[in-house]
Amino acid sequence: MTVAAATTGAVLAGLVALGSARRWLAGERARRRLPKRASMRPLPLPQPVAQAFRRAGLAEDAERLAAVWVAALVTALLLSTVTPSGRILFAVGLAGGPLALVLAAGRHEHRRTAQLPEALDAIAAGLRGGLALPAAIAGAAT
């Protein structure tokens, strides 16, 4: 039962973290117009991690999301020295971040697959309307 509770907690924590990250990104995208400081740029991600963010449709914010996840893990690790529940929080955060990324990748792939028939219909409508193939594809992309 403990493993099931921990797994459920990890999944819920990952989903909550993903929702929080999306809200945070909305504000972050608005702040992108401000000039960036060179000292504030995060280190580049390892290739497999960057690919996982790409599959989830979060490639443009991958470095910031990874930095937030690491900061949350460090905070939970510090809490684990004080309280026993901090250890649980750390374990949930450690498993929840990658699990949320895998779930987001599945949702992103599902959304792209669901949009394919609509895109093909839009291209066909453009071709029937007399557009050239590149113009029909560009029209469907919008």
pLDDT tens readout for residues 7-20: 666 666 666 666 66
Mean pLDDT value across residues 65-93:
81
Contact 66, 50 (CB under 8 A): no
What is the reported pLDDT for 130?
A: 92
**Out of 31-40, 44-53, 124-133, which region has the weakest mean confidence (pLDDT)?**
31-40
What is the reported pLDDT for 28?
A: 65
Contact 104, 18 (CB under 8 A): yes
When the pLDDT of each residue in the chain is averaged and rounded to a whole number, the result is: 77
Q: Which one, of 12, 17, 4, lies nearest residue 75 by Cα?
A: 17
Measured between alpha carbons, how far is 10 from 6 in angstroms, rounded to an integer?
A: 6
What is the reported pLDDT for 48?
A: 81
Place of tokens 């895109």: 119
